Structure 1
Amino acid sequence: MPVRPLLGPSPHEIVWRAPDSARVLSVLQNPAYAGAYVYGRRQKDPSRCRPGSLTGTVKVAIADWAVCLRSAHPGYISWEEFMANQRRLADNVAHFEAGHAGVPRKGAALLQGIAVCGRCGRRMSMRYTGPNADYPVYCCRSDRDQEGSALCQEVRALAVDALVQRVVLDALVPDQIEIALAAAGQLEQESRQLERQWALRVERARYEAERARRQYDAVEPENRLVARSLERAWEERLRVAEAVEQEHARWRGQEPLLIGPAECAGLQALGENLPRIWNAATTSAADRKRILRFVIREVVLDQKRTRGQVWLKIVWQTGATSEHHVQRRVHTYRNYIDIDRLRQRIVELNAEQKMDAEIAAILNQEGFVAARGCAFKGENVWLLRTRWGIPTVKINGVDKNPRRWPDGSFSIQGAAAELGLTPQTVFDYLARGLLAGRQLAKGQPWQIELSDEQISQLRNRVRRTKHSKKEAS
């Protein structure tokens, strides 16, 4: 890139240097490339000046520039593009504060930069936990950093990100887009009607001001009392007209943007291709965040509002909001939000003669999640049944275990009688691998496989053991 250094061996001569971030940033922030002549981009701040050094220069906001002449010469980009670039550069600043989402980065957290604390309203930062740092957590540490108090809150990101991803993809399916476009068309009609009403109000206010001016101009100069009265009336009409115009400008700024035919076609194409693009292996985490920010402005998180759940409010780019809840990871089922419904469902499925593994599969299909946020397993169901005193479903109902099961395998009692052992010794043989057995589920009766050869070998082993004990005594 061409550079004109002020110092060095060749001052004020153009030299070519490799581009760096500072040079590229100066080009993006230079209004001359937008065809504008400006003055007053920087000024001296006396509180920052130090004697004998060139310090104290600060940047001035664009609205406070002393001179800003647009279209002073042909530009490479328009003034609107220049202002959009300035807003994007300001938004890319890595400050976790209101109004600054930051640039999307390569981390796995989907809401990086747009997560807002529902307790204090501050922007939430990120940290990663786990042995491989692959578990993102949204943190609000402003209270601790500024006041030395405890953390405001921490929200585990995986469950929240999964819900937001599902909501976004569901909202952008073609059917939902058609409904949204129809609603947008209705809003556009209402907006045009309101615009006509505002135009009439502005026109009437201007007419009243112009009428007051004509009355003032028509009065004779020697009628000073009448002239002063008409002048005050004219000034009042001018203030009313200015107030109406400002109110109209505020209303227009709050109105949603209108969608044209090109945008409608783009949204329909996006609804058809978005799931494929989102799930593609070539789509990086930063790309998904950029896609998300096209439709979502910010997400407010609060895990202390509802017991056992994370409450979140999605603020869409259109200004609309939607509230959702997601089951958060808890350390004990005492904090489980749907504990009563979960217990009732386990009781019902157990009464239907379902095994623990079958109950776990049904619970997963119905949308239940375990306390730690993962899918239910048979072991989880067994633990809950044991805690709540729900009896197990046995192979033979409520009867005592038979000597042998219908498939030919032995029960604990049957194996003990066949081998001449106590039931506790049979359990010990199973633990040591001397016997092979299985359970349909945890808590179910054992089914032990015994061949004639195994029975003979184990009986001889028992006799040798008893004989050795007699000799030792």
Structure 2
Amino acid sequence: MTKIQSNHLGKPAYIYIRQSTMAQVRHHQESTERQYALKERAIDLGWKEVRVLDGDLGISGAQMAGRNDFKNLVTDVSMRKAGAVFALEASRLARNSTDWHRLLELCSFTDTLIIDEDGCYNPADFNDQLLLGLKGTMSQAELHFLRGRLQGGKLNKAKKGELRSPLPVGFIYDEEGRTVLDPDAEVRHAVTMLFEKFRETGSAYGVVHAFAKERIQFPKRAYGGAWNGKLIWGRLSESRVRGVLRNPAYAGAYVHGRYQSIKDIAPDGTFFTRVREAPRESWTVFIEGHHEGYLSLETFLKNRELLERNQTNGQIVPGPAREGHALLHGLLICRTCGRRLTVRYMGNGGIYPVYECNWQRREGLSTTSCLAIRCDLLDGPVVERLLEVVEPGQIEIALQAFEELERREETVDNQWRMKLERATYETDLSQRRYENVDPANRLVAATLERQWNNALARVEEIKKEFDAHRANRRALLTDKRKNDILSLAHDLPSLWGSPSTQDKDRKRILRLLVKDVTVERVEAKKMVLHLRWQGGACEDIPVLRPPRYCDQIRYSNEVVGRVKRLAQELRDTQIAARLNETGLLSAKGNRFTPSVVSWIRHRHHIPAPVLKLPGELTVGQIAEKFAVSPNVVYYWIERNVLSARRPDAGPYYITLDSEKERELTDRVAQSVRIHRNSDGFLNHAVRGAV
């Protein structure tokens, strides 16, 4: 111990204590006691101030993350506050070469000693540094060998299907260590109901909503601690549904290696391990038929595939059936780029859905979309073809649907009955506990009496909820509704279009029969739907896109030609009447009006009819000829002084001979009531005879 100098003794000695797991701390206390005994050794070596760092008990030394006392030790060593570091062996300080050599380098720089069970070392000395480095390497190698032996033993046992691990809810180990179904009927029924609801709804959230709607809870079994093995009932969550559906144990299979540990580096430079689920082909052990399950392996794989299709992570997957009006959402594929078509709702006031493939425009690769079309134009032909295929079995489908409704309600009723039975059992148990207690022990008796009362109240609450559920069921499954279902079976299109049928149900029916539909634009106004059924059969459905709105209100050549012919002799009012007599309608489906006829003439440059005969004069021409105002001319027409013709409430056309011209000239010259106005025209002061 000649390496210990006064400068070392003048600084505190640090005793670092660590065990890898809490189980070692509880059950292997000899190692912990030996490490605490290092404090006495430090005092014997001459240190007056000794600091014990035992905050890392139960933490692995494979890395620095989480070991706060080791971080404090490194900090104090780097600040020259430590005279020596005591540890039982190198593995107590670190089982990682990086952390170990960092500590050695700091101790060498700050002249800090390292003392273990074998001796005292000065990291500043090359020989000691070499020996300490070898000890650190052996410590890390020891961890590798230990892990290898343990993992090898576990893998060998797993290959035989004998490696035990916490079982998912619905399974337990029997006396011989075999995996069997949970003997609790309520637990088994809840698990079975989860799979049935997923088959009905097709999504994990659909299962959660179904359980919440029926107010049914789902169990989980606690492992470890005071609650070990106890069933806990609570609200079902989406993550729990996904965990059950993705667990192959429910299909009777034994699996080892479902999850992989991935090491990564945090932003602060520390290492951490995250766990992710491995793909099925990477599972280390897979034993089919290892135990009795709740469903077949084929059904389990279909459920996993459906869960993957329900994801909305940008992959080419259809996603689950939702509540939107676009019935083919998730089934349509663009023939141009091979991606799924998305849905966008458009409209100002009246909102309508549109299928479009716009990923290139969204990514800035193009300024236009591959295609965009109203949903009803594609939904209609596919639905029509679907109804044609399903039509032969309409009655059978209706009966199966009705039986399915009955079976669903019976499943929910059974779960409620078992819930009530469990609450009744707990009430009886509380009663027996209360009756067996010593009446003189009032503290215990009062507590047991309160528990009994709470159990009785719980039973009454469940009974009321069960009665309300059954009353609601009777209201839904009435005889009238049964007859309605059977009557609608004769007309499946009416059932499909019934207001009581939700779009989500229509989508689920479509997905049961249709695998996908590829949309190909053949021409500007023509598309082809390549329909692929679930069985693999394919067929093509042609679809014609409707003309643009401006084209829809554009009149045919026949109507324009007829207006052109009639406009040679008739006015707009007469033309509209003639067209209405023939039964023709305007482009918007209304009767023709003079304004519509006028617009057609304006749009197609059709001149108005020429109704003025040769030799006839207008009111303006007569007024100019006799230098009077138009009012005077109208007065003459009203008094039959002039002979005028007025076709169809239009302008007047006047016939003027030489005799009538002389007469009017004299009348104007002799009249005392007519005088010239500021415009140069003659006018009469008072309306009267001229």
Q: 2:356 aligns with which of 136, 139, 144?
A: 139
Q: In the TM superposition, what are the counterparts of 1:393-472 in structure 2 within 5 Å? A: none
- What does the per-residue CA deviation read over 1:162-194, in whole Å, with 9 as the maximum and x for residues that have no partner? 333333334444499xxxxxxxxxxxxxxxxxx
- CA distance in 2: counterparts of 1:124 and 1:419, whole angstroms: 77
Q: For 2:583, which of 348, 358, 361 is the aligned residue?
A: 358
Aligned partner (choices 516, 532, 544) of residue 315 of structure 1: 532
Is 2:241 aligned against 1:24? yes
Which runs of structure 2 are paired with 1:261-410 in the superposition (5 Å)? 272=490, 274-302=492-520, 305-317=522-534, 318-333=536-551, 343=556, 355=580, 358-360=583-585, 376-377=589-590, 387=603
Q: Could you tell me how far apart the structure 1 residues matched to 2:276 and 2:253 are?
A: 21
Q: 1:325 to 1:74 in 2, by over 3 A?
A: same
Structure of larger gyration radius: 2
Deviations 1:115-169 (A, max 9, x none): 2223211101111112456310112221133345324232222322233333333
Which residue matches 1:449? none
CA RMSD of aligned residues (A): 4.9
Please give the residue correspondences for 1:51-66 in structure 2 after superposition, counting only pairs within 5 Å: 55-66=273-284
Secondary structure (helix, strand or coil) at the match of 1:56 reads strand
**Are 1:166 and 2:384 matched, yes or no?**
yes
Aligned counterparts, 1:199-210, within 5 A: none
Q: 3-state DSSP class of the match of 1:102?
A: coil
AA of the residue aligned to 2:293:
G
Output the CA distance in 2 between the equivalents of 1:425 and 1:377: 24
Structure-1 residue corresponding to 2:289 = 71
Q: Deviations over 1:414-449 (max 9, x none)?
A: xxx999999799689xxxxxxxxxxxxxxxxxxxxx
Counterpart secondary structure, 2:337: coil
Provide the C-alpha distance between the structure 1 equivalents of 2:375 and 2:605, rounded to a whole number of angstroms. Answer: 35
Does the alignment pair 1:38 with 2:255? yes
Q: Which amino acid aligns with 2:247?
A: N
Q: Provide Cα deviations, 1:265-300, integer angstroms capped at 9, x if missing partner.
A: xxxx99955323202221011111112222322223
Counterpart residue type for residue 103 of structure 1: P
Do the aligned partners of 1:114 and 1:123 also contact (CA within 8 Å) in 2?
Answer: yes
* 8 Å Cα contact 2:263/2:271 also seen in 1: no
**Alignment-mate amino acid for residue 242 of structure 2:** L
Tell me the amino acid that sits aligned with residue 510 of structure 2.
L
How far is the alpha carbon of 1:332 from its aligned partner? 3.5
Letter of the 1:150 counterpart: T
Unaligned runs of 5+ in 1: 177-268, 362-369, 401-416, 429-467
The aligned counterpart of 1:240 is: none
Letter in 1 for 2:366: S
Query: Which residue is 2:325 aligned to?
Result: 108
1:177-225 Cα deviation digits (max 9, x unpaired): xxxxxxxxxxxxxxxxxxxxxxxxxxxxxxxxxxxxxxxxxxxxxxxxx
Pair 1:88 & 2:306 matched:
yes
- Which amino acid counterpart does residue 529 of structure 2 have in structure 1? L
Q: Does 1:150 align with 2:346?
A: no
SS in 2 for 1:277: helix
CA gap 1:387/1:6 in 2 versus in 1, 3 angstroms = farther
Q: Between 53-62 and 380-389, report the one with greater CA deviation.
A: 380-389
* 1:221-260 alignment, distance < 5 Å: none
Q: Alpha-carbon deviations, 1:83-139, whole Å to 9, x = none?
A: 1111111122234543x2111111111211112223211101111112456310112
The answer as to whether partners of 1:42 and 1:60 remain within 8 angstroms in 2 is yes
Give the % identical residues.
Answer: 29
- Structure 1 SS opposite 2:583: helix
Structure 2: segments with no counterpart, 5+ residues: 1-217, 395-486, 566-577, 613-636, 652-682
Shift of 1:26: 0.9
Secondary structure, counterpart of 1:282 in structure 2: coil
Q: What is the deviation of 1:75?
A: 0.7
Mark the CA change 1:424 to 1:346 in structure 2 (over 3 Å): closer, same or farther.
Answer: closer
- 1:61-92 CA-to-partner distances (Å, cap 9, x unmatched) read 22332211111001111111111111111122
- Specify the code of the residue in structure 2 equivalent to 1:294: L
Match for residue 222 of structure 1?
A: none
Distance 2:639 2:386 in 1: 64
Deviations 1:325-352 (A, max 9, x none): 222352543xx8xx9xx8466579999x
Instruction: Letter of the 2:385 partner, please give it.
Output: V
Instruction: Tell me the secondary structure at the aligned position of residue 363 of structure 2.
Output: helix
1:308 and 1:36, CA in 2 relative to 1: closer, same or farther beyond 3 A?
same
Distance 1:107 1:40, change over 3 A: same
The 1:387/1:146 distance shift into structure 2, 3 A limit, reads: same
Distance 2:329 2:579 in 1: 43
Describe the superposition over 1:241-267 as per-residue Cα deviations: whole angstroms up to 9, x where unpaired.
xxxxxxxxxxxxxxxxxxxxxxxxxxx
Q: 1:85 to 1:49 in 2, by over 3 A?
A: farther
Aligned position for 2:470: none
Q: Does structure 1 retain, via aligned residues, the 8 Å contact 2:342–2:355?
A: yes
My pick for the range that moved more, 13-22 or 309-318, is 309-318
Match of 1:3 in 2: 220
The structure-2 alpha-carbon separation of the partners of 1:346 and 1:137, relative to structure 1 and needing over 3 Å to count, comes to same
Residue aligning to 1:130: 347
Counterpart check, 1:119 vs 2:336: yes
Instruction: Assess, with a 3 A threshold, how the Cα gap between structure 1 residues 13 and 111 changes in structure 2: closer, same or farther.
Output: same
Q: In structure 1, how many angstroms separate the alpha carbons of the residues matched to 2:271 and 2:224?
A: 17
Contact kept, 8 Å, 2:526 with 2:542, in 1: the verdict is: no
